[in-house]
Structure 1
Amino acid sequence: MRIWSDGPFKPRVAPVNADRGGMRVWSSGGLLVLSVAASLAIRVEPPYRELDVFGGALCVLSALALLWWRTAPLRALAAACAVLVVNAAAGYAATLVHWPLWVALFACFSSYGDRRRRIVCVLVFLVGLLGYVLLDRDPLETVPGIAMGFLIATVGGDAVCSRRAYNEAAEARLLLEERARLARELHDALGHAVNVMVMQAAVGRRVFADDPEFAREALGHVETLGRGALQELDQVIRALSPEDGMPVTTDLPALAERVRAAGRELALDVQRVELSPSGSRALNRIIQEAVTNALRHTDAGVIRVSLEQEGDEVRLEVGNAGRDFALPVPGRGLSNMRRRALAEGGEFHAGPAPDGFLVRAVLPVRAPA
């Protein structure tokens, strides 16, 4: 089963069954041709009967059992065992009819991962083997070959089944990780803009009667933020696409202006830093989320953003002035910031400080390979 996604939340299953019918026909037909060729080339020695029309028909039936080896492997195994028993009872050598049995047994162990079905398959095989041993004219010579065939079919089938289950689990895990990544990007990209828009709209509504000019200015900021949010969403979508790895950038002066329009003060102490594209993306998302949290959880006080580079490290601090801050409850915002910093090989800390609440992140100039 191959899994991919048409969109952010629409997993689909690839139609891998489309070509199985043709595969079954080709495998069965190929074995049928091989049986006919072998019947003409192999000379049967006593005590077995020479191959005649009935023996040839049994070879054909054995090959046709493989028509079910992908869709119903247990049925194919039962059919192959039945043909083997009838072939032994009729006195023919098992040279031509035993191959579908091993293929069907392999298909059972590669298709069925649960123990109950595998036990049923082994019981069917043992019943067929018992009938063969009781009815065949010289079964002792084939015991080593039977043991080797059983070992190869079961171990090989189990290996294929385990590998398929591992691949499916890995693909499902990748899909979940991609969904989580998309959720983080959307949360960090739009969360700040939406929160500031709500605050500015609330300020405009409160002062609309007393200061209509300020309310009009606040509505203008809401419109500007809405347009910026749409551009941010487009940037996130382009950045998430495989062919475009553009880093997300934050215009810090514009960010300060939006915060001031919401009635708060944002003080910037920012130096020029050098980061990889993924590090730049992580840094800017952390800044946006930290400022958004400060706006969301406090109504007054200066928000300070300090950014500097010391050697191979970039240090970011976002402080929110205030008192009596409690220990933070891990939410989506803090979890996203911590995950982004750690993914770049950096550090992240958030908690109360003597003069308020402090978010601190340290990122390496270049992310580890």
Structure 2
Amino acid sequence: MGINRGEVGRANRLIEESDSVVVLSHQNPDGDAFGSVLGLGLMLRGAGLNVKASWPDPVELPLKYEFLPGKELLISPADLRPQGLVIAVDCANAGRLGELEDAVLKVDNIINIDHHPDNSLFGTVNLVDAAASATTEILYEEADDLGLELDRDIAVCLYTGLVTDTGRFQFSNTSAETFRIASELVEMGAEPNRLYEEIFQGDTLSYMRLTGEMVSRAVFEPETGLVHVFMPQEELRRFGVEMNETEDLIDSLRTLRGHRIAALFKEQDDGRIRVSLRSRADTDIGTVARSLGGGGHRVAAGYTSEKGSFEEALQELKGEIVAP
């Protein structure tokens, strides 16, 4: 359906009328969130605005994303006082802003830029397109109408969002439009080989050993096509790996022949269990995640279980999965 052009015009006016802006994204950010926050932040700074960027703690880039330009825009949520204009990117609902939610919802002007199909339209202006492969795709397409210019550093950020949210251009959300935009970003200076090496070939030995341990513990249930594994906090400590380094660990489960759904259960600091889900193109895992209080896309989604143990969380998920 695309983005309402009237909404784009309203967003443009808000940006033109602002001297400063806060750019935010969701809890447990991924490559599209990082690329969107920093790419848009650099665009806005180039337009003369005072820019601050953040997301719910911890505000740090995982090792594989430390190459991204614009890190100097980041500040801790504790030091942030949102006022004036706030732009939320790659965030399906205000609840995903974590500890920033209450302060953000008190702001008069919120521009919500996103591609999640379950976006709640929480902004005063909403630029939402569920057909886009990534939020960075929307930022690229709308930059000119928003009065924003791109350069090499911004192209690097936007390409990062594309290549990660499409699963290296493999997921079903990858379209001809995605490749067109990727090509134009390469023409602007994004280097596919270098970015691939940074993002997908920069694992530490500790992370590789953790991955091996998790794969060795994985369980496959042929009757439902579910492959799953539980990653407790003690394993992170044992291998010396930070939680924000484990975004792609679930991909190690997705190579299993015959599976429909892959689930990685990650124990959080507070004892709750964060569940990352991936599926084959013919299985809508986003619907499952939404039924459990989360969200996401057809083949990549997640939620946080309130159950007290992995066993209970697993049964909760299995109760929502329909056998093929």
Q: TM-score, normalised by structure 1?
A: 0.23
Greater relative CO, 1 or 2 (CA 8 Å, sep 6+): 2
User: Which structure shows the bigger proportion of residues in strand conformation?
Assistant: 2
